Structure 1
Amino acid sequence: MKIVHLKNTQIAVGDPPLLNAAGLHAPYALRIIVELKTDAGIIGLSEIPGSQKIYLALEDLSSLLVGKDVFGLHGIKRLILEKFGTRDNERGVAPWDQRLLVHLFSAIEVACLDCIGKKLKRPIVDLLGGKSREKVPFAAYLFYKYEGAGGDLGFDIDSSKKGWWLARQQKALTPDQIVDQATAMCEEFGFKSIKLKGGALPPNEECNSMLALREAFGEDTPLRLDPNAIWSLPTAIECGKRLEGILEYYEDPVRGQKNMALLAKEVNIPLATNMCTTSFDDLPSSIALASEHIILSDHHFWGGLQASMQLNKICETFGRGFSMHSNSHLGISMAAMTHLGAAVPHLDYALDTHYPWQEDEVIQGGKIPIQEGYVTPPDGPGLGVELDRDQLEKLHQNFLRCGLKERDDEIEMKKVNPEWEFKLQRW
């Protein structure tokens, strides 16, 4: 099957005012929907974070892909490397990954695998070696947040919503409010593990939220805290001592492998990362320093599904835990993530997902169900999902109207607090 056309559509998805170490989520999260059409009439899909930089690179790449075989992924990767070299291939200091090449690799690879699966009438999980599990565990992902729904509603509340879809609009800035948020999310989706995005409030307040969650949910519910590398080493040690026996893992409380390795010697909690070890080049020093116990993969940030399978084997070989990081994704990325989660032989922890925070959807049939904290991989060929073109157009119009081109949480926070500035280390 040869590629005959690549269509890239920028969309904007309603996103509540969630807080993190870099500031505040804008009312819209940006995504790009990729449609790769072949000479067999098959269209493969993928979805990636929607920066203007990535969109322009995809547009630049489109004509070079025409005539390439969707089975020839190594050749396509070489073409991308020759075209872009190492340009814009730094992760950056923000909580989200700003590299170009890995996003391009994953965008094209997932779309090609979707085509191949549709041609062979087999789901992508089978192309990755088949199922290691029938359903994939996911964790509740909590955020400190201001009141509001995101999207056109901005900071308003839509009181016609019920259950979680009302609760997701409500303010959460105290331990009790975080417990209420967790309760609503777990009642809706049945999650058995809970993660809190930290780095937004003073560390002691975030520790108090974790202790309140333990009291509310008991010892059988694994808890995680992710301060996004905004804490100093002494602060991370102090908080870690408070949370020993409470946390399932401690994610990126400090910045860099050396600091993580020092922290690991002081605190008896497994350390996880998607900020200090984020590429295959980082792995030798990670192993040598013992800087973390768990690698949080993300097929967007590690260069695709096949690369993530390779990472899984390395983690197994060197005794590292494996799970997955999340971003503000819709159903195409959720499907890809779930196929990968079903395929990897070595999966120690429930996967992260922002999916409950995104009310919009771009696939036919609405959102992929999360039941009792698990997602079953779509059983159709390829990704097993298809575009809802009416929704795609609606979300594209959101993009045109909202005026956002790149994610910048600092700018959004300054709209609320003009004095606020991003700092590499805040506490």
Structure 2
Amino acid sequence: MVTTTNTTSDAARTEGEATLDRIAWLRLSSVTLPLATPISDAKVFTGRQRPMTEVAFLFVELATEQGHEGTGFSYSKRAGGPGQFAHAKEVAEALIGEDPSDIGKIWTKLVWAGASVGRSGLATQAIAAFDVALWDLKAKRAGLPLAKLLGAHRDSVRCYNTSGGFLHAPTEQVLDNAEAALASGIGGIKLKVGHPDGKYDLARLTAVREHIGDEVPLMVDANQQWDRPTAQRMGRAMEEYGLAWIEEPLDAYDAKGHAALAASLDTPVATGEMLASVAEHVELIRHDAADIIQPDAPRIGGITQFLKLAALAEHHQLQLAPHFAMEIHLHLAAAYPIEPWVEHFDWLEPLFNEHLEIRDGRMHVSSRPGLGFTLSEQARAWTVATHESGTRP
């Protein structure tokens, strides 16, 4: 279904000599990406969630009076995709007439347009798609990859694979997946843990470590499914494997528990992916709850918010390993001063015409301007709803 709005409020238009361009048109697209195999992590094995069969995306495409364009996206797993699209549709008109360079101003305007639903969660995840599109447009207009516009510290980032290590996959398949990932140039492997039977986790971890060797960075992710005593026991049992980190050992909002665990283990503790605002991450940092912080730009409101959090994380000398959405996070990680990691998922590849270059354990920033991606025909085919505002130049 396509709906179109063409009115532009005079109050929405930016004024002043410094304004050289304005947003004239935008299109929202709700896209449902089917997964080839139902995905299960610890949340499924503990009965809290069902296997994941699809990922819902909210794409925003923008065009200005001068003909500049930008594309951004947000996403949701298992639930929330239609809600993101509905909220974005309600606030979209607020962008028409605005100067696309005024990204911070626009972010605040969108927050106030939907103030009743707050400044975290679904609301800011919908705003994130607009925000990412504005940054993409800004970098494209400058003729620069987004990382270079932000001020890159490096042209490539260490990367590790997650999509091959889920709990639904038999151990032998996980070993094959790890071997294939490393052969493709990926630098590290993450294994899902948090199974109700801790012995099962340790057996799989032993098999993977023996298979890939001691030199390959190896991470584990419990997806919030341990309580404090279990996390302590499992963390101690896993010390001998030389892990790069233990991810989400506790409930995402248990800052004190994460802090106590991080202080007691030699293995670094990583968390943050499920938090939906900068303010929630501030609590982690205030409690020294993570050695490695894992924000997700689409979840916390986009690139504008991510940059605020990155500055705070750097101030506290935290490592950074953004969650999912490598098409966005490669650029943000490349601009982070402390050597970061980026998470590799191949799930999103059908959505784009271009693909990331991975070799020698690192993901490389391309010379393409902006994020460096255009929507594929497959993405158009998976589109379930669209909405347009303004008039396309």
Runs of at least 5 residues in structure 2 that lack an aligned partner in the other structure: 1-20, 45-49, 386-393
Report sequence identity in percent.
25
2:107 pairs with one of 65, 71, 77: 77
Alignment of 1:125-274 (within 5 A): 125-129=147-151, 131-141=152-162, 142-144=164-166, 146=168, 172-174=169-171, 176-187=172-183, 189-200=184-195, 202-246=197-241, 247-255=243-251, 256-274=254-272
Classify 1:276/1:260 alpha carbon distance in 2 versus 1 (closer, same or farther; 3 Å): farther
Q: In the alignment, which residue of structure 2 is the partner of 1:295? A: 293
* Equivalent position to 1:346, from 326, 334, 338: 338
- Which residue matches 2:123? 101
Letter aligned with residue 154 of structure 2:
R
The alpha-carbon distance between structure 1 residues 6 and 217, as it changes in their structure 2 partners (threshold 3 A), is: same
Aligned-partner SS, 2:311: helix
Q: Report whether the alignment pairs 1:19 with 2:50.
A: no
Q: Looking at secondary structure, tell me which structure has more strand per residue.
A: 2
CA distance in 2, matches of 1:276, 1:26: 16
Q: Deviations over 1:168-202 (max 9, x none)?
A: xxxx233x432222112222x22221111233452
Structure-2 residue corresponding to 1:380: 368
Tell me which residue corresponds to 2:28. 8
Letter in 1 for 2:146: I
Mapped partners of 2:312, 2:112: distance in 1: 27
Output the TM-score relative to the length of structure 1: 0.76
8 Å CA contact 1:17, 1:145 repeated in 2: no
User: Are residues 361 and 322 of structure 1, via their aligned partners in 2, closer, same or farther at CA, if it must alter by over 3 Å?
Assistant: same
Q: How many residues of Structure 1 are paired with residues of Structure 2 in the alignment?
A: 351
Report how far residue 69 of structure 1 moved.
Answer: 0.8
1:124 aligns with 2:124: no
CA root-mean-square deviation:
2.3
- The secondary structure found in structure 1 opposite 2:267 is coil
Using structure 2 for the length normalisation, give the TM-score: 0.82
- SS at structure 1 position matched to 2:299: coil
> Would you say 1:361 and 2:350 are equivalent positions?
yes
Deviation string for 1:82-104 (max 9, x for gaps)?
111251655xxxxxxxx123323
Using the alignment, how far apart are the partners of 1:106 and 1:276 within structure 2?
A: 15
Secondary structure of the residue aligned to 1:138 is strand
Conserved 8 A contact 1:21-1:228: yes
Given the alignment, which residue of 307, 310, 323 partners 2:308?
Answer: 310
**C-alpha distance in structure 1 between counterparts of 2:285 and 2:355, whole Å:** 39
User: 2:56 corresponds to which residue?
Assistant: 30
Q: For the residues of structure 2 that align with 1:27 and 1:143, how far apart are their CA atoms?
A: 16
Q: 1:272 to 1:225 in 2, by over 3 A?
A: same
Q: Secondary structure at the match of 2:358?
A: coil
Once the two structures are superposed, residues 274-301 of structure 1 have per-residue CA deviations (whole angstroms, 9 ceiling, x without a partner) of 2576643235543443222111122112
Which segment is superposed worse, 234-243 or 310-319? 310-319
In the aligned structure 2, how far is the partner of 1:284 from the partner of 1:62? 29
Q: Residues of 1 paired with 2:165 and 2:150: CA distance?
A: 33
